[in-house]
Structure 1
Amino acid sequence: MTTASPALDAASVARHIDHTLLKPEATTADVTALVAEAIELGTYSVCVSPSMLPLSLPADAHLKVAVVCGFPSGKHHGSIKAAEAALAIAQGADEIDMVIDIGAAKAGRFEDVQADIAAVRASIPAPHVLKVIIESAALTDAEIVAVCEAAVAAGADFVKTSTGFHPAGGATVHAVRLMKQTVGDRAQVKASGGVRSFADAVAMIDAGATRLGVSGSAALLSGATPAGSAGSY
């Protein structure tokens, strides 16, 4: 059990959230509703599939747009991922969440993993943000460390636990903590996949995550402890 910090109220947790809709059946109307809900909730960004771009945002919306790349398998050639990322940026994305070739990591081909990430990084130079999805539940601890090192070496801004689509599972406190210990101040950590409750969100942030991938953001934030209440998580 983790005791929620008084600083982690609903509004502060919302600013950690990439409000996410990546279902294959998502429509333009669904994404429009996602954007409206994100603005209402005060989330950091929305995260959508590349085919949903460009998005129409209100002029006064303080909302970033994140787009997935090589999603969800990661089994795309690096040049294709790079082109997909570049097109998304050209169509208004601020951030790219790319999936590594998980098989390459499982085979110990970490130089290939790094080259894959570097290709995307080269196609979307800073200040555009690059998050690298490592599918941590499918990796051993040693593989997580090696992949995180490859991501940092390739210039990633974040390492991210999961797509949320892999049968091995999503984010865990253990994985987030290990990822943060590995990257230190060189990159940030995003917890994604199975972050469904306010308690989950607090635990991930306490473990070192600075961003959360959440599809059910309204339900999650509704579980926040009211200001002035003790509450335990």
Structure 2
Amino acid sequence: MAEFTVEEVAAKIQHTNVNPDVTRDEIKKLCEDCMEYGFDGVMLQPCWIKDAKKYLAGSKVKVCTALGYPMGGSTARSKASEMAEVIELGADEVDFMPNIGFLKSGMYDEFEKEVAQIVKAAKGKITKVMLEFGMLTQEEKVKAAELSIRAGVTYLKNSSGWGKGGKATVEDVQLLKEVANNEALVKASGGIRDFDSAVAILNAGASLLGTSAGVKIVSGSGEVLSDY
């Protein structure tokens, strides 16, 4: 297993606060923490993109957002429209919810077409599909990953980190890495709360970590901002 320094782990973290009641001051602090600790990116709701761009001006921290979140039941057209808007607002990367109900219903063509439509609307920006492994059987996990790769996503993500989406596990990350077969990267999220867990997930094959405990992971102390 590879060893990671604190700085190397920090550079893999997308520090997250997507709480519905997050305030502007909390978003500012989130961005300041990203710059202070050298995190890869900040993950926030679309309404805060412009603020984040201002707070992070001149830094290398990426502005990342989530759409179709957390339910994923909006129409493909509305998700694609939202994708176009967040790109226009300045998002560097976008994590999005596919329609898990389509997948569970065996509506594989509909699932793949929706993902492809959303990816197309990103106009080349990095996209990450949140596959909510906590709701899927082992067979469905593989199918979801295969369909998403065919649809052109940049990253496969095990979970949104919320609700029934599930927590990041070494086994699930290894599965995604294997199915991706170098055609997509892997982002892990859900329940990553300490340095050792972060290193284990990275060694399993994740290229990025989504967590609201970024400061705690790299410093050993600090607030966990949400269940994410």
TM range (shorter): over 0.9
Where 1:97 maps in the other structure, the secondary structure is strand
1:134 is matched with 131
Question: What are the within-5 Å matches in structure 2 for residues 49-60 of structure 1?
Answer: 49-54=45-50, 55=52, 56-60=54-58
8 Å contact kept, 1:135–1:170: no
**Counterpart-to-counterpart distance in 2, 1:110 and 1:223:** 43
Q: 1:162 aligns with which of 159, 162, 185?
A: 159
Where 1:96 maps in the other structure, the secondary structure is strand
Gapped runs of 5+ residues in structure 2? 222-228
Deviation at 1:29, TM superposition (A): 1.2
1:107 is matched with 105
Deviates more, 1:30-39 or 1:107-116: 107-116
8 Å contact kept, 2:112–2:147: yes
Deviations 1:113-169 (A, max 9, x none): 11111111111121x100000001111111111111111111100011111112352
Deviation at 1:101, TM superposition (A): 0.9
Deviations 1:82-111 (A, max 9, x none): 111111110010111001111111112222
8 Å contact kept, 1:97–1:130: yes
8 Å contact kept, 2:146–2:180: yes
**Counterpart-to-counterpart distance in 2, 1:188 and 1:74:** 21
Q: 1:63 aligns with which of 57, 61, 64?
A: 61
The alignment yields a C-alpha RMSD, in angstroms, of 1.4
* AA partner of residue 140 (structure 1): T
Q: 2:6 aligns with which of 4, 10, 14?
A: 10
User: Would you say 1:122 and 2:120 are equivalent positions?
Assistant: yes
TM-score (norm 2): 0.92
Deviation at 1:57, TM superposition (A): 3.3
1:192 is matched with 189
* AA partner of residue 74 (structure 2): H
Where 1:53 maps in the other structure, the secondary structure is helix
1:21 is matched with 17
Deviation at 1:223, TM superposition (A): 4.1
2:87 is matched with 89
User: Would you say 1:38 and 2:34 are equivalent positions?
Assistant: yes
TM-score (norm 1): 0.90
Where 1:200 maps in the other structure, the secondary structure is helix
Deviation at 1:222, TM superposition (A): 2.0
Where 2:127 maps in the other structure, the secondary structure is strand
Q: 2:219 aligns with which of 211, 222, 228?
A: 222
**Counterpart-to-counterpart distance in 1, 2:154 and 2:135:** 22
**Counterpart-to-counterpart distance in 2, 1:166 and 1:106:** 17
**Counterpart-to-counterpart distance in 1, 2:61 and 2:165:** 31
* AA partner of residue 44 (structure 1): D
Q: How many residues align?
A: 219
